[in-house]
Amino acid sequence: MNEIYTTCKSLLYKVKQSVVPFKFYPHRATLNYYTGCKFGCKYCYAWFSMKNYNIDSKCFPETCIIKSNAVEVLKEELNKKTWHNYPGIIQFGNLQDVYQPIENKLKFTRTILELLYQNQKPCGILTKSTLINNDIDLLSEMAKKNLVQVDMSIACLDEKLQKSIEPHAPVYSARFKILKKMSERGISTGIFIDPALPIFTLDAIDDIFKMGKECGVKYIFLGGIHMRYWKYKIFQEAVNKVYPNINISNYMDFKQQVCLNINHYYEIIKKSFSCSIKYQLPFASTDPQYTTCNFNFGSFHFRHPLIYDYLDFLIKYRGKYVHLEDLILYLGARYEKTFYTSLDWFWNNKKLFDNIQFLNINSDDDRGVKYRLNDDYKLNEYITKIKSPFKL
């Protein structure tokens, strides 16, 4: 792999309020010190990041750009008031796998984790690598203070397909093995089904939940799949190399980007929800009506509000109009300032409750935005069949 060393002026970035992760994901900040990833996953949306360095996107699996001064910059940032007082979760691995093979050589992830631990900063790690085993001792210590949540990326269980679409990543069986080991060491773990693949994810859902339960994971989250047209061709070729007779385009929508067809995506969501009940393993997706997860584990204790929290509140006061001050009173004054800033932004965002089926929410603007959940049979069905298994 080609290694290119560069320097950076900053390392920590806050998640923009306008992006999807702000609504559904627990973290509010990210850090990236590697660009490019040896695993070379054919579906990965992050290949475009190479263009920031005037390098062809297709070089993403062959080139790693390393911010050589990352540790020094992070030390400086954590001493600044903005980040010194930042109480939220810092996410690793949103543009690459921080435990790709080069980590064995540089150990940047280990050093940065030690720095966050010293500063008592909670973090989340998304990986598909067994190299995380090297840091289990440190992660175990962080876990004692709820300073870490480790999610393992598992998209399906077909290892023939996996070798084609994730050519240099560890096999799925190895990922489950390391999940079990981390869970046994007291580290809060989860499975991030990301991305949800056409056909193959649906076929594997039941076994993923079953094996996740056996490994002691705390929850399973379902992500989506989205990529640009040129990238979809690469992914499609990798699938057809193993399954030449399967036309995955039948399961995709072709709009501004290529993504999973919404009907097929909901098949996966609904089957995942059923498996969540079956195995008593919390589940979350980008559709809050199919969530049995309260995010009350690992570093998620330090999260800012997500859409699920608003729904809990609205269900409690169903049939009545409620305002933002009612929500603040309901939560109490136990959070820091930025939590309530986030709360306010969400409450006044008209798009907050997009795509929530069965829930009829009314709002008006005479005294700011106010909401009411109509207390009808649809809502009662939602509470009984969906929220009751873990949340009520």
- Note the pLDDT tens digit of each residue in 319-358: 888 888 898 888 876 677 777 877 888 788 766 676 666 6
d(CA 204, CA 211): 11
Cβ pair 190, 150 in contact under 8 A: yes
Closest CA relative to residue 67, chosen from 11, 124, 109: 11
pLDDT tens for each residue of 42-100: 999 899 999 999 999 999 999 999 999 999 999 999 999 989 988 899 999 788 999 99
Query: Rounded to the nearest 10 degrees, what angle do helices 108-118 and 136-143 cross at?
Result: 20
Cβ pair 130, 178 in contact under 8 A: yes
Q: What is the pLDDT of residue 220?
A: 97
Structure-token match 């360095």, residue found: 53
pLDDT profile of the chain (392 residues), mean per 10:
95 82 84 95 93 94 96 96 90 91 96 97 97 98 98 96 97 97 98 94 98 97 92 96 97 93 94 92 86 88 84 83 88 73 79 68 76 71 54 43
pTM of structure: 0.91
Cβ pair 161, 311 in contact under 8 A: no
d(CA 325, CA 329): 6
Q: What single-letter amino acid sits at 205? A: I
Residue 240 burial (C-beta neighbours within 10 Å; 0-12, 13-18, 19+): middle
Cβ pair 214, 180 in contact under 8 A: yes
Q: What is the pLDDT of residue 74?
A: 97
Q: Where are the domains of the chain?
A: 2-302, 307-391
Q: Parallel, antiparallel, or unpaired: how do β-strands 148-153 and 189-193 relate?
A: parallel
Terminal Cα distance for the chain, rounded: 51
DSSP bridge pairs for 361: 373
Quickly name the fold that domain 2-302 has. pyruvate-formate lyase- activating enzyme (3.80.30)
Query: What DSSP line would sit under 224-240, residue for residue?
Result: --EE-HHHHHHHHHHHH
Q: What is the pLDDT of residue 314?
A: 83
Structure-token match 């306008």, residue found: 18
- Alpha carbon 79 to chain centroid, angstroms: 27
Look up residue 186 and give its two tokens. 């007291």
Determine the length of the chain: 392
Structure-token match 């067994």, residue found: 130
DSSP bridge pairs for 12: 31
- Alpha carbon 229 to chain centroid, angstroms: 23
The two counts, helices (H) then strands (E), for the chain are: 16, 16
Q: What is the pLDDT of residue 392?
A: 37
Q: What single-letter amino acid sits at 188? A: S
Helices (H), 3-132: 20-24, 70-79, 81-84, 102-106, 108-118
DSSP bridge pairs for 259: 226, 253
Phi and psi, residue 331, nearest 5°: -80, -30
Distances (CA, A) of 224 to 94, 101, 184: 14, 26, 29
149: alpha, beta or left? (left if phi > 0; alpha if psi -120 to 50): beta
d(CA 306, CA 342): 9
**10 Å Cβ neighbour count for 290?**
20
- Alpha carbon 209 to chain centroid, angstroms: 17
Which helix (H) or strand (E) is 125 found in, with range?
A: strand 123-127
